[in-house]
Amino acid sequence: NAGVTQTPKFQVLKTGQSMTLQCAQDMNHNSMYWYRQDPGMGLRLIYYSASEGTTDKGEVPNGYNVSRLNKREFSLRLESAAPSQTSVYFCASSELRTGTGNTIYFGEGSWLTVV
Amino acid sequence: ELKVEQNPLFLSMQEGKNYTIYCNYSTTSDRLYWYRQDPGKSLESLFVLLSNGAVKQEGRLMASLDTKARLSTLHITAAVHDLSATYFCAVAHGGNTGKLIFGQGTTLQVKP
User: What pLDDT was estimated at residue B1?
Assistant: 83
Contact predicate A83/A15, CB 8 Å: yes
Q: In chain B, whose CA is at the least distance from the CA of A105?
A: B45
Residue A68: what pLDDT? Answer: 96
Quick one: CA dihedral A46, A75, B94, A101, positive or negative?
A: negative
Average pLDDT over residues A20-26: 97
Does the pLDDT at position A1 exceed 60?
A: no
A48-58 pLDDT, tens digit each: 999 888 999 99
Express each pLDDT in A2-13 by its tens digit.
699 999 999 999
Chain A residues in contact with B100 (beta carbon < 8 A): 43, 45, 104
Flag residues of chain B having pLDDT under 50: none
Q: Out of A40, A50, A104, whose CB is closest to B100? A: A104
Q: Are A80 and A47 in contact (CB under 8 A)?
A: no
Q: What are residue A24's DSSP bridge partners?
A: A5, A73
Are residues B76 and A13 in contact, defined by beta-carbon separation less than 8 angstroms? no
Helix (H) or strand (E) holding B57: strand B55-58
For the stretch A68-105, pLDDT in tens is: 989 999 999 999 999 999 999 999 999 876 655 678 99
| Among B33, B97, B103, beta carbon nearest to A48 | B97
Cβ(B21)–Cβ(B8) under 8 Å?
A: yes
**CA B55 to CA B69: how far, in whole Å?**
15
Paired strand residues for A90: A35
Instruction: Tell me the shortest Cα–Cα distance from B14 to chain A, in angstroms.
Output: 23
> How many CA atoms are closer than 13 Å to the CA of A104, on its beta-carbon side?
31
Cα–Cα distance, B79 to A95 (Å, whole number): 33
Q: Name the residue among A58, A106, A107 with its Cβ closest to that of B99.
A: A58
Output the pLDDT for position A100: 59
- Interval B27-37: pLDDT, tens: 888 789 999 99
Total beta-carbon pairs less than 8 A apart between chain A and chain B: 61
Which amino acid, A7?
T
Quick: pLDDT tens for A34-45.
Answer: 999 998 888 999
Contact of B37 with B85, CB cutoff 8 Å: yes
Give the pLDDT confidence score for residue A75 in this predicted structure: 98
